[in-house]
Structure formats: C-alpha cells, structure tokens
Amino acid sequence: MESPFPVNCEYLVFTVNQCRYGVPGSAIVSVSDMPVCTHLPHLPDNVRGVVSFRSGGIPLFDLRVCFAAQARILETEELINTMGLRKQDHINWLSKLKDEVYNQKPITVQTDPHKCAFGKWYDQFHSDNTNLAAYMRRFDTPHKEIHQVAIDAAKLIKNNQQTQAKELVQRTETGILVRLLELFDGLANHVRKYLLEYAIIMRVDDALFAVAVDDINFFSRLNRIEYPLPSGALTHASHLVQALGRYHDEGGQHEKDVLLLDMSLLQQQVA
C-alpha cells in the first residue's frame, strides 16, 4: 500500500483541542489568522461557513467538530459565562460570611479554596497559551486569601474578638474581594485575546478549502511515520486520522506523537 504520508517532505503540525495533528506541507496554500466567516444555511455540522480567499469563497471546516469536540468559539463563550457565575459566587460568599459574622451565626461558608466551584475548575485548568496561563496564575493568591478570611474570622469569634472579626470582613470587602473581582472582570478580554483560531487554506486534488485550528506549532520534517495507523494509537474516533508521525521535542531528548490527517477524506465533502 503506497503511503499518502511521505517521510521525505515537511509537515505542518497544529493543535486542535490540546492534541497535535499534522498534514503534508504540499497541501498547504496559506496559513492566516481566522478571517471573517459567513454562515450559510443547510451546511453540514462540521462546516462553519464560507470565508473569502482571493477572488472567491471557500468552505471553512471546523476540525474540533470533525473530532466530536466543542467548537472553539462556543468553548470560549461558555468559559466567559462560567467565570461570570464564579465571580458572583464569591460576591455571594462574602455576603453570607458577613451575615454570619455580624449576626453571630455559625460560619458555614466554604473555607477550602480547592472545594468551591471555581477552585475545582481552577485546579484542573490547563492552557498551552503562556499568556492566558500567566493571567490565570494571578488568581491563586487572592483566591486562597479570601477563603482564609473565613477561617481567621472564626478564630477571632472563638476568642471573643467579635469587633476584630467584623473589621476583617470589612477590609476584605474593600481589599481582597476587589482584587479578585478585577481579575474576573479582566478574564473575558484575555480569553478572547489569547484563545485564538487560525485558518489553514488547503488544496487537495482540485478542491480548495479552509480548516479551523487552535494553534500552529511548527513546519518541519518528521522523524518517522507509521502507516497504516497502528492498532490502539487513536483514543478518539475520527476517520481523518490515518497515520502516526513522530518528532523530537525541543530538547531533542524525547520523541512525541502527531496524528496525521488524510485531508482527501474531508475534501470529498466539497468535491
């Protein structure tokens, strides 16, 4: 069986939903930031719409949808909306703590920053985008500090220092909470700024089309290619993945996998 994945050519490697994929460089026409996409009715689910290219329009395939994942634009808006809810959670949290301290009620708010809804999400958060990851790390200290306030307030009350407990809550309202809310308010802009998409314009046979990807990684030859796809190499179902490529990481010490796509299978939808 002749392989559609020659070893002696360069491959464009890109990321979709935190997984690396590759296509032969011979199929690449251009790579660009995501252009404006015109949505049209009655298109397949994996076709987002049409984008302008040169003198005409070409279909834009959403590879995330091809791989049964959530579209990047939907993921972004869902994240922004969820963080709006988590912001309100902490406003409500401090309001409840204030009521408990001022009215001498048992303190029942969550004191563990890893167990509130945001904390559970935050501990699992990962982004390959260094700018977004750096911004998210700024949440760590004020988020832990605000939950510590409830522990400190409980200790003060236990030591009959009710006034000091009230003052602690007041300082938190104008200090730690404000810093935390500012981070939540700035998150939407950072998500929209850094969770970008790119369009890869491809020509396969006589068909010209674009695919949406999360990030562009590199353009290079691979060390070796296994075709057909080895048994057990794929953990998610996609008929587009037909081979396994291997390359060395930046340090050259470890070999990593890249799933190679046969874009002629996608091209059949626009042929």
Of 56, 9, 23, the C-alpha closest to 266 is 23
Can you name the CATH fold of 74-194?
Answer: Four Helix Bundle (Hemerythrin (Met), subunit A) (1.20.120)
Identify residue 139 by its one-letter amino acid code: F
CATH 1.20.120.30 occupies which residues in the chain? 74-194
Of 196, 190, 188, the C-alpha closest to 77 is 188
Identify residue 205 by its one-letter amino acid code: D
pTM to 2 decimal places: 0.81
Longest dimension (CA), the chain: 82
Identify residue 108 by its one-letter amino acid code: T
Are the C-beta atoms of 20 and 249 separated by less than 8 Å?
Answer: no
Are the C-beta atoms of 23 and 43 separated by less than 8 Å?
Answer: no
Are the C-beta atoms of 197 and 72 separated by less than 8 Å?
Answer: yes
Output the CATH code of domain 10-69+196-267.
Answer: 2.40.50.180
Instruction: Using DSSP, state whether 125 is helix, strand or coil.
Output: coil
- CA atoms in the 13 A half-sphere facing the CB of 74: 8
Phi, psi of 258 (to 5 degrees): -135, 130
Strands 207-213 and 215-221: unpaired
CA dist 164 and 266 (Å) reads 66
Please list the pLDDT of the chain residue by residue as tens digits (271 residues). Answer: 578 899 889 999 999 998 999 999 999 999 999 999 999 999 999 999 999 999 899 999 999 999 999 999 899 999 999 999 999 999 999 999 999 999 999 999 999 999 999 999 999 998 888 899 999 999 999 999 999 999 999 999 999 999 999 999 999 999 999 999 999 999 999 999 988 899 999 999 888 999 999 999 999 999 999 998 877 766 565 789 999 999 987 777 788 999 999 999 887 766 5
CATH 2.40.50.180 occupies which residues in the chain? 10-69+196-267
Q: Which residue is it, tokens 């075709």?
A: 227
Helices (H), 69-217: 72-102, 117-124, 130-137, 140-158, 162-174, 176-194
